């Protein structure tokens, strides 16, 4: 059997967690990075997993029309090996066992405004990255730029036209920009109860430059706008930068030291 890679995966999980207790960010990151994520990555059915943080600097540069997503400070994702009929239930079982083992302390002080399975649509690597598409998520990066949007049923011709514009115009523009290593696009997996319902789309841009600096440059020189006839096809839910998380460097949301603040006043 040929091993699965992100380039051959047909399922990816996305979650946008929110820590509801400002004093628990370090606890959340210690649990996730030192317990939860390693256990997930150890599963044979998980190809790769990563997570990023919307630091205060990142948050100031983002746009969050969806109020539910506006407060999420993190983004986590996992890629699943084939056959997903085996790998996804195994992953879900690990999460259930962790609860009964008392290893889910974060449930008391986190929310997940958006979470679910997505299907990878298409991936691209910038020529400067010099890696294969399968290797892109494993390549070190400094952060990502994310856009989350919602469209009506994918059977609408406008959705196909907008998708063509995205892949033919916007993504080549992104790949040509300084600091972009590659791009992956995703769509939400259809629900059994509403197979023709709205679709959530995610564009994930891997950055080898500072995500805050990249987003400022993007604001100064925006991506090409879609044709006027397609402008209302997608509803933007969230867009902005997130930084790669370095283990034990979890001080983004710490309260300023009162003594230092007083001395500098």
Q: Which two tokens stand for residue 142?
A: 């400094």
* Inside any domain, residue 198: yes
Give the per-residue pLDDT at 258: 39
CATH number of the domain residue 181 falls in: 3.30.70.100
* Inside any domain, residue 196: yes
Residues of the chain with pLDDT under 70: 1-3, 154-155, 191-196, 256-265
* Inside any domain, residue 259: no
* Inside any domain, residue 73: yes
* Inside any domain, residue 59: yes
Given the structure tokens 């302390």, which residue do they identify?
105
State the residue range of the domain holding 118. Answer: 12-251
Q: Which residues of 229-262 are buried (b: 16+ CB within 10 A; e: fewer)?
A: ebeebbeebbbbbbbbbeeeebebbeeeeeeeee
Residue 165: how many other CB atoms lie within 10 Å: 17
Give me the number of domains the chain comprises. 1
* Inside any domain, residue 172: yes
Given the structure tokens 């960010």, which residue do they identify?
25
All residues at 6 or more sequence positions from 260 whose CB lies less than 8 Å from its CB, including other chains: none
Give the per-residue pLDDT at 259: 38
Give the per-residue pLDDT at 149: 96
Task: Report d(CA 48, CA 7) in Å as an integer.
Answer: 11
Give the per-residue pLDDT at 191: 64
Give the per-residue pLDDT at 265: 36
Give the per-residue pLDDT at 189: 82
Give the per-residue pLDDT at 264: 38
Pairing relation of β-strands 143-151 and 234-244? antiparallel
- pTM value is 0.92
Give the per-residue pLDDT at 4: 75
Give the per-residue pLDDT at 155: 66
**DSSP-derived secondary structure letter, 63:** B
Which ranges in the chain belong to alpha helices (H)? 25-31, 37-41, 56-61, 67-70, 84-100, 157-165, 171-175, 211-220, 258-264
* Inside any domain, residue 6: no
**Phi and psi, residue 231, nearest 5°:** -60, -30
Give the per-residue pLDDT at 193: 56
Give the per-residue pLDDT at 262: 41
Given the structure tokens 């604001």, which residue do they identify?
219
Radius of gyration of the chain (CA): 19
* Inside any domain, residue 241: yes
């Amino acid at each position: 059997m040929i091993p699965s890679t992100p380039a051959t995966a047909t399922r990816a999980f996305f979650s946008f967690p929110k820590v509801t207790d400002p004093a628990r960010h370090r606890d959340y990151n210690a649990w996730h990075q030192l317990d939860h994520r390693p256990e997930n990555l150890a599963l044979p059915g998980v190809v790769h997993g990563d997570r990023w943080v919307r630091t205060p600097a990142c948050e100031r540069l983002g746009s969050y029309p969806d109020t539910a997503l506006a407060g999420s400070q993190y983004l986590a994702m996992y890629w699943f090996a084939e056959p997903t009929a085996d790998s996804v239930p195994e992953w879900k079982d690990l999460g259930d066992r962790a609860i009964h083992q008392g290893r889910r302390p974060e449930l008391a002080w986190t929310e997940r405004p958006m979470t679910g399975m997505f299907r990878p649509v298409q991936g691209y690597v910038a020529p400067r990255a010099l890696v294969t598409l399968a290797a892109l998520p494993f390549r070190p990066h400094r952060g990502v730029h994310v856009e989350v949007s919602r469209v009506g049923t994918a059977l609408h011709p406008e959705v196909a036209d907008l998708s063509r514009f995205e892949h033919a115009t916007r993504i080549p523009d992104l790949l040509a920009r300084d600091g972009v290593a590659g791009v992956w696009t995703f769509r939400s997996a259809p629900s059994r109860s509403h197979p023709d319902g709205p679709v959530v789309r995610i564009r994930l841009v891997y950055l080898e430059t500072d995500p805050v600096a990249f987003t400022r440059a993007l604001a100064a020189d925006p991506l090409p706008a879609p044709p006027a006839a397609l402008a209302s096809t997608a509803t933007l839910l969230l867009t902005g930068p997130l930084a790669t998380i370095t283990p034990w460097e979890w001080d983004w949301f710490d309260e300023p030291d009162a003594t230092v603040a007083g001395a500098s006043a």
